Amino acid sequence: MPCINFLQKLQNQKEKMDRRKFPRINTNTFISFVKYNKNGQIENQKTGTAIDVSQGGILLETTEKIDTKSISIITTSSNNKLIEIKATVLYTRQVDSEKFQNGISLQGNPGENLRFVTGLVHAYLLRKKSQNRNIFL
């Protein structure tokens, strides 16, 4: 079960962590995010790649700077249902002329954060497994 393996990996890596509260899992998963203005109204929707994810946050790579603090992250679960969580942009750094990396903190309660991260990682693992099977066909 990928979800159980994910949780076991989190537990095993917890002992090896330095300053991080939760371990990071590489995902390279396409996601959408909705930007909110200071009044809490939706500004627009953009896309990016979740480079890695933990129970507390996401490293999100985008083609433009995220110029707001409040966003909602949206992706699909392994059963193709949309999953969404509120988040806060902690920092943005430009890595080259066309890429920005954004440190994102998930703002759900611990159960919501875990449900979102588990759904994202499970969907990533299923896609990866499917791609590996297609290589040998």
Instruction: Map out the domains of the chain as residue ranges.
Output: 25-108
Instruction: Tell me the pTM.
Output: 0.78
> What are the tens digits of pLDDT across the range 68-104?
899 999 998 888 889 999 999 999 999 999 999 999 9
**Is CATH 2.40.10.220 what the domain over 25-108 is classified as, yes or no?**
yes
State the residue for tokens 């703002």. Answer: 107
Distance CA 96, CA 63 (A): 10
Beta bridge partners of 101: 61, 93
| Six-digit token string for 111 | 């159960």
